[in-house]
Structure 1
Amino acid sequence: MNKCKLKALILTVGAIFMAFLMVNLNSQAARMDMVDVSNNNGYMSTAEYTSMRNEFGVKAVTVKISEGGTYKDPYASSNIANVQSAGMYINGYHFARYATKAQAIAEADFAGQTAKAAGLPVGAVLATDVEAEEQNNQSKATNDRNNAAFMKEIQKFGYRADIYTSGSWANNKMTIKGKTGWIAGYPFVPAGKKWYTNNNAWQWSGSAHFRISYGGFDVSQLYTDYYTAGQKSTVKPTNKGAVKANNKEANKNASKPYTAAKWVKEAKAYTLKTAVKLRTGSSTSSNAITILPAGTTVKTDQAIIHGGYRWVRQPRFNGYGYLATGPASNTLEYVKSDVTHTYYTVKSGDSWWAIAQRNGLSMTTLASQNGKTIYTTIYPGQRLVVR
Structure 2
Amino acid sequence: MARELVIDLASPYQVDLTADDYRKVGAKKAIVKISEGTTYTNPDIRLLINRSAEGGVTGYSFYHFGRFHNDGQAIAEAKYFLDQARRTVNPKPGTLMILDAEIENMSTSSVVAFLKTLREAGFKAGFYSYLYLLPEFDLDAILQHADFFWLAAYPLGDKPADANPDFRYFPSAQRVDAWQFTPKLMGYNLDGSITVTENANQLLSGPTPVVSQPAPTPKPQQQQIDSWVDDLGVKWYKETGQFTITDPSGIWLRWGATTQSAKIAALPQGSVVKYDAYCFSGGYVWIRQPRENGQFAYLPTGRETNGKRQDYWGKFE
TM bucket, shorter chain: 0.5 to 0.7
Q: Does 1:105 align with 2:82?
A: no
Match of 2:100 in 1: 129
Q: Deviations over 1:214-256 (max 9, x none)?
A: x41110011123444448899xxxxxxxxxxxxxxxxxxxxxx
Gap runs ≥5 in structure 2 = 208-229, 236-280, 283-317
* Aligned counterpart, 2:171: 195
One of 52, 63, 67 as aligned partner of 2:36: 67
**Deviation digits for residues 175-206 of structure 1, max 9, x if unmatched?**
25498411110112842513347301110001
Match of 1:182 in 2: 150
Q: Which residue of 1 aligns with 2:241?
A: none
Show the counterpart of 2:193: 220
Secondary structure of 1:195's partner?
A: coil
1:130 corresponds to which letter in structure 2? A
Gaps spanning 5+ residues in structure 1: where? 1-30, 235-342, 349-379, 382-387
CA contact (8 A) 1:91 1:120 kept: no
**Greater CA radius of gyration, 1 or 2?**
1
1:208 is matched with which residue?
185
**CA separation of 1:75/1:167 partners in 2, compared to 1, >3 Å: closer, same or farther?**
same
Partner of 1:336: none
Higher helix share: 1
* C-alpha distance after superposition, 1:283-324 (max 9, x if no partner): xxxxxxxxxxxxxxxxxxxxxxxxxxxxxxxxxxxxxxxxxx
1:64–1:93 Cα contact (<8 Å) kept: yes
108, 122, 126: which is aligned to 1:144?
A: 108
Counting strand residues as a fraction of each chain, which structure ranks higher? 2
Q: Quick one: distance in 2 between partners of 1:228 and 1:191?
A: 20
Secondary structure of 1:165's match?
A: strand
Q: Which residue of 2 aligns with 1:7?
A: none
Q: Distance in 1 between matches of 2:50 and 2:155?
A: 33
Shift in alpha-carbon separation, 1:346–1:83, aligned structure 2, 3 A = closer
Distance across 2 between alignment mates of 1:226 and 1:171: 25
TM-score, reference length from structure 1? 0.45
Displacement after TM superposition at 1:171 (Å): 4.1
The one-letter amino acid paired with 1:35 is I
Q: Secondary structure of the residue that 2:83 maps to in structure 1?
A: helix
* Larger CA deviation: 153-162 vs 217-226: 153-162
Please state how far the C-alpha of 1:78 moved relative to its aligned partner.
Answer: 3.3
Question: Percent identity, aligned pairs only?
Answer: 26
* 1:1-387 → structure 2 map (5 Å cutoff): 33-43=5-15, 47-48=19-20, 51=23, 55-84=24-53, 86-122=56-92, 123-132=94-103, 136-138=104-106, 143-175=107-139, 177=143, 180-188=148-156, 190-193=165-168, 194-196=170-172, 198-209=175-186, 215-230=188-203
C-alpha distance in 2, partners of 1:227/1:107?
Answer: 24
Conserved? CA contact 2:62–2:96, under 8 Å? yes
The alpha-carbon deviation at position 84 of structure 1 amounts to 4.6
Higher mean alpha-carbon deviation, 116-125 vs 40-49, is at: 40-49
Distance 1:209 1:107, change over 3 A: same
Q: TM-score, normalised by structure 2?
A: 0.53
AA matched with 1:125: L
Contact residue 39 and residue 73 of structure 1 kept, 8 A: yes
Provide the rounded CA distance (Å) in 2 between the counterparts of 1:66 and 1:233: 19
Q: Distance in 2 between matches of 1:157 and 1:72?
A: 19
Give the distance between the partners of 1:43 and 1:202, measured in 2 at CA. 23
